[in-house]
Structure 1
Amino acid sequence: MDTKRNIQQEALDYHANGRPGKIKVVPTKNTKTQRDLSLAYSPGVAEPCLKIKENQEDVYKYTAKGNLVAVISNGTAVLGLGNIGPEASKPVMEGKGVLFKIFADIDVFDLELNTKSIDEFVTVVKALEPTFGGVNLEDIKAPECFEIERRLKEEMNIPVMHDDQHGTAMISGAALLNALEVVDKDITTIKMVVSGAGAAAVACSRMYLNLGVSKDNITMFDVDGVINHERTNLDESRMFFARDTGNISMADALVAADVFIGLSAGNILSQDMIRSMAKDPIVFAMANPNPEITYDDAVAARPDIIMATGRSDYPNQVNNVLGFPFIFRGALDVRATAINEEMKMAAAYALAALAKQPVPEIVTKAYGLKSMTFGRDYIIPKPLDPRLLSTVAPAIAKAAMETGVARKPIEDFEAYKLELNERLGINNSIIRLVNAKARQNPQRIVFAEADNTKVLKAAQIAEEEGFAFPILLGNEKRINQLIGEHKIELKNPVIIDPRSDA
């Protein structure tokens, strides 16, 4: 059976079965009695309306605005799928909402706008400011995304962030700081080559400048070659990084380079290019789903390499989920009017610092490791680390307060950290960690009454997730019939028919 096709169908079934989609609205107050309903709506609802009319800040006291983020896209640059339109982008935006909720307990409405006009996009989003506590822009193509974000940040009084740009920038920035510490190199003197000149690459490069990289030491490439002053097809964002390099190739630029940043396309970096780099090269091959060079090829070419990718199956995963849930959590909790550069820097430094702290045993076991210590294979925290929320969100809140954009300062940060841990409940983090641990040592599990479609699908999921080696108990003929009819994929299933004489 075609495994890829089976996974594709599973993904479609996952989204379609039961209530379509991945999110829903759930009441937070009692609604069981007539009295409850009279308070939730007419006539009782008039009272908070009047209070908010007197003082607009009371909207945070009486409504969900303070914990509500809009995830907004026009579907012009969705994952690796490109310009697929607003409707087709909706599953991704719903998925983003799921991550906001499970990692930071932030509620989300996803909004897909049917416009490619910068002016229309800005007008619509700006008009929604009374509803939301923050705006996460998503999957908007460059260069329009730069202008959209800039204008919204200038014209709105709530935090706005384009995660495709700044999420990757903050997390890779933290990884860069730690990688340079491991190899004992000075950030102000390193030579860096950047492959890609889209939204993420530009934002990452600007973050590295803020962290101390010299602009004169960054050589950037796009699909048309090196970004230099001779180019006539550059927009303002790319022109900022133009240098007098001549028409050099990326292979030329990588000779003796200290750092390679990849945000472009898979398999464009060769082992010979890696071999030409300076001692202890740092390579962040972050193209998805396929990195610019595979982890195995890079390590084989240079044993002294520090390698990071966007993949979870290798060390040092640069994953945006390390950033956006916690950044917005901190911003919302102080009612920040913006997410500024200082807050982004604070996130990078907080993530970098966390990677140098002792890793709890529950995290190392979740990833099937005996230990996990700061070094070449661990320069960035793991996404399932339960300390992320109580580390990054307070750093964001403090930076907002220090830069004057916090309208509700936090007075007791120790109490705030406890509140953060209680917000999700430590059990949520433990369950995710236990699931990860189960994958490290799968056991044989008997599925009784397996001549049932639901039981067979449960067995398939357990096997695919790596939790178990299923043993199916039931009528063998019926089980095989159901497997064929429903395209259930099990690898050499063990079937025991208790009624059989065999």
Structure 2
Amino acid sequence: MADYSRKQEALDYHAKPKPGKLAISVTKPFTTYEELSLAYTPGVAEPVKAIRDDPEAAFRYTSKGNLVAVISNGTAVLGLGDTGALASKPVMEGKAVLFKKFADVNVFDIEVDADNPKDFIDTVVRIAPTFGGINLEDIAAPHCFEIEKTLIERLDIPVFHDDQHGTAIIVAAGLINALELQGKKLADAKIVCMGAGAAGVASMNLLLEMGAQLENVFMCDRKGVIHSERDDLSEQKAQFATKTDLRSVDDAMKQADVFIGLSGPDTVSKEQIGMMPARPVVFALSNPTPEITPEDAQSVRDDLIMATGRSDYPNQVNNVLGFPYIFRGALDVRARRINMTMCVAAARAMGELARQPVPNSVLEAHSQDAMSFGPDYIIPSPFDPRLIDFIPPAVAQAAIATGVARTEYPSHYPQPVVEPKQG
């Protein structure tokens, strides 16, 4: 009965009082004939001519500069798989709500009925002039890699696949903090990544950029450790084919300072967690059912730090911590792309925020009397109002430093909290 009630509550939320979660509002006065003549003909001809003569004028005279397209073909929707484009629309609308709520970024959600990567890419390229950025969402691997890479090459606005890089940024932020609390360094840590899909590949690439060593990264798929003697590897998996004698997940876990799960439910046992060296870090991020529950992991280890993708446990790896603020920073300097340096800057800023005193508004949101940086608080809360002050400035500064920004550092921004590193 409880499951039915929750299901009906979700359906009613989306259906009433009006279907969907989005609407469009008018941003200019529009009550007189004079205002009509300015909004449409003949007045609208003036910005048209200005943009015809200088495409950059679109950022001044239209909503382009604060408008992101959230685009999916519905081939990998949440934990539901290939639902088709239309059925992905509630998720894309939800993403739009988060953009607007947390970073005041406007969104058009666009569902593209195209399983073929070329058709999808062609569609996005043709509609791209409308937007200041493209957020790809819920596109299955391996097509998501080709789609993102090609769109980045063909477009001069940021293209960001959140299932890859959004997840990677939050993972990196939390892991840096967790390792410090455990008295370990990223450069020395042996990392097992269960899952070689979009999020796994992007997360490991970002950690390598931030100082992890390739010889210490053991990515695992259904066949075990991805190693250099395997001849069945995709291009994405092959870059993590380590020269090693390790073959099984058990072999790898015996050496792992860090376990990162981006695979599926219940794929790691208590026995495997028990094999890990002292003071391990366990990120079991399959959602809604993690690779191993905190209860099971903590029943065999009292020295671990753990994160999941769920809101009912401490240390939730939640993409809403990232994408609204990353795009905010990118849009505010009219960035041509979101590059690795910008991702590193976002991760470092996010990690730094978790170390700051927690404001009362966050305590109230979590119904807690006290929260502070430590084993149960390595990642900021999504309700921390300071995310907008930490992440966009760091991203904007990194965009400027790497030459992908069209404008200077915004005068209304606070000074960046974290200095981004090059690379």
Tell me the TM-score range normalised by the shorter chain.
over 0.9
Q: How does 1:43-442 map to 2 (within 5 A)?
A: 43-246=42-245, 248-410=247-409, 412=411, 415-417=412-414
The separation in 2 between residues aligned to 1:320 and 1:143, in whole angstroms, is 21
Aligned to 1:454: none
1:485 aligns with none
Distance 1:210 1:52 in 2: 39
Separation of aligned partners in 1, 2:263 and 2:408: 40
Q: For residue 23 of structure 1, what is the amino acid of its counterpart?
A: L
Identity %: 55
Deviation, 1:409, is 1.1
The one-letter code sitting in structure 2 at the alignment partner of 1:397 is A
Report what 2:419 is aligned to.
none
**C-alpha separation in 1, matches of 2:161 and 2:389:** 23
SS at match of 1:71: strand
| Pairwise CA distance, 1:6 | 1.6
Which residue number in structure 1 is paired with residue 27 of structure 2?
28
Deviations 1:230-276 (A, max 9, x none): 43332100111112345722122101310000000111211111111
Give the TM-score normalised by structure 1.
Answer: 0.81
- Answer whether contact 2:264 2:289 (CA < 8 A) is retained: yes
Q: Distance in 2 between matches of 1:256 and 1:157?
A: 43
Corresponding residue SS for 1:416: coil
User: What TM-score do you get using the length of structure 2 for normalisation?
Assistant: 0.96
Moved more, 29-38 or 87-96: 29-38
What is the CA–CA distance in structure 1 between the aligned matches of 2:284 and 2:27, rounded to whole Å? 43
Residues 437-476 of structure 1: matches in 2 within 5 Å?
none
Q: Distance in 2 between matches of 1:314 and 1:267?
A: 16
Q: 5+ unaligned residues in a row in structure 2: which ranges?
A: 416-423
Structure 2 distance, partners of 1:205, 1:140, is 19
| 2:295 maps to amino acid | D
- Aligned partners of 1:335, 1:256: CA distance in 2, in Å? 44
- Please give the alpha-carbon distance, in whole angstroms, between the structure 2 residues aligned to 1:284 and 1:269: 11
Superposition deviation, residue 200 in structure 1: 0.3
Q: Tell me by how many angstroms 1:337 deviates.
A: 0.3
Amino acid at match of 1:268: T
- Higher Cα radius of gyration: 1
Once the two structures are superposed, residues 111-138 of structure 1 have per-residue CA deviations (whole angstroms, 9 ceiling, x without a partner) of 1111111211111111122100000000
Q: 2-side partners of 1:304 and 1:391: how far apart?
A: 31
Provide, for residues 362-413 of structure 1, a one-character-per-residue CA deviation record: whole Å limited to 9, x for no partner. Answer: 212321222222111111100100000111011100000111111011253x
The Cα RMSD (Å) is 1.3
The superposition leaves residues 303-333 of structure 1 with CA deviations (integer Å, 9 ceiling, x where unpaired) of: 1100000111111110000000000000000
Deviation at 1:18, TM superposition (A): 2.8
Indicate the structure whose relative CO is greater, using CA pairs within 8 Å and at least 6 residues apart.
2
The 3 A distance-change label for structure 1 pair 249 and 169 is same
Q: Is the 8 A contact 2:99 2:107 kept in 1?
A: yes
CA contact (8 A) 2:246 2:252 kept: no
CA contact (8 A) 2:173 2:350 kept: yes
What are the superposed Cα offsets for residues 469-490 of structure 1, whole Å, 9 maximum, x if unpaired? Answer: xxxxxxxxxxxxxxxxxxxxxx
2:392 maps to a residue whose letter is: A
**1:31, CA displacement in angstroms?**
1.5
1 CA distance for matches of 2:246 and 2:349? 39
C-alpha separation between the residues in 1 aligned to 2:129 and 2:264?
40
Q: How much does 1:203 deviate?
A: 0.4
Worse overlay, 345-354 or 7-16: 7-16
The CA deviation at 1:55 is 1.4
SS in 2 for 1:14: helix
Per-residue deviation, 1:215? 0.7
Alignment CA distance shift 1:97-1:202 (3 Å): same
How many residues of Structure 1 are paired with residues of Structure 2 in the alignment? 415
